[in-house]
A and B are shown apart, each in its own frame.
Chain A
Amino acid sequence: AQSVTQLDSQVPVFEEAPVELRCNYSSSVSVYLFWYVQYPNQGLQLLLKYLSGSTLVKGINGFEAEFNKSQTSFHLRKPSVHISDTAEYFCAVSDRSAGGGNKLTFGTGTQLKVEL
């Protein structure tokens, strides 16, 4: 079984400042990692995912994340945020087996609030 920890429930940041949203995972097997964003009253949208290869993954809207196997982390970053980035961000993990790959385990979410 896997688990995901998002230590920060809320992250306030000023517009144009950089931001990092932290995600740590626990798993006894190799995993795939995902970041999703949820805007108010909407479903989740995929920002980016790590499957294999380069540990630095680039996603939509200028976001990127780095997979660190030794620290079991997959932190999300953006060098300069915009008001429109205000949303809730979810880190998720699935194992690499054919059956397990369908079962995403989500963290509890981090509310990013961008202020002027």
Chain B
Amino acid sequence: DAGVIQSPRHEVTEMGQEVTLRCKPISGHDYLFWYRQTMMRGLELLIYFNNNVPIDDSGMPEDRFSAKMPNASFSTLKIQPSEPRDSAVYFCASRLDRAFTDTQYFGPGTRLTVL
């Protein structure tokens, strides 16, 4: 089975531009998570979905950030407008709904650079 797929792997954009990051979870997984990794703050949970419904978005830093999951096989994280401090690696992860202690499987990440 393919793992979690993220695109693009690298994104370089200019301040003020809209950025859209994409994630395809492992087929059959019910939960999807978006994380951000920076040197200063480490790895932080931004938002997670269960059966395509956002459950907890308390980690989303600002209104400039939004996430959607229109169906079970696709999610987006959008930043509009982007700022240099948004530069980070963004990870998507997914897991089954058998138990919340089940393993979260991470994608390879999208490295975002905002100039």
Does residue B93 face the partner (Cβ distance < 8 Å to A)? yes
Are the C-beta atoms of B100 and A46 separated by less than 8 Å?
no
Q: Give the tally of cross-chain contacts (CB within 8 A).
A: 50
Q: On chain A, which size bracket covers the interface?
A: 20 to 34
Are the C-beta atoms of A43 and B43 separated by less than 8 Å?
no
B103's partner among A46, A103, A107 (CB-CB below 8 A) is A46
Does residue A7 face the partner (Cβ distance < 8 Å to B)? no
From residue 33 to 49 of chain B, which have CB atoms closer than 8 A to chain A? 33, 42-45, 48
Are the C-beta atoms of B104 and A104 separated by less than 8 Å?
yes
Distance in angstroms from A85 CB to nearest chain B CB is: 19
Roughly how many angstroms separate A115 CA and B112 CA in the complex, as a whole number? 31
* B103 neighbours in A (Cβ, 8 Å): 46, 49
Closest to A92 in B: B43
Residues of A within 8 A of B (CB): 32, 36, 41-46, 49, 51, 90, 94, 98-99, 101-104, 106-109
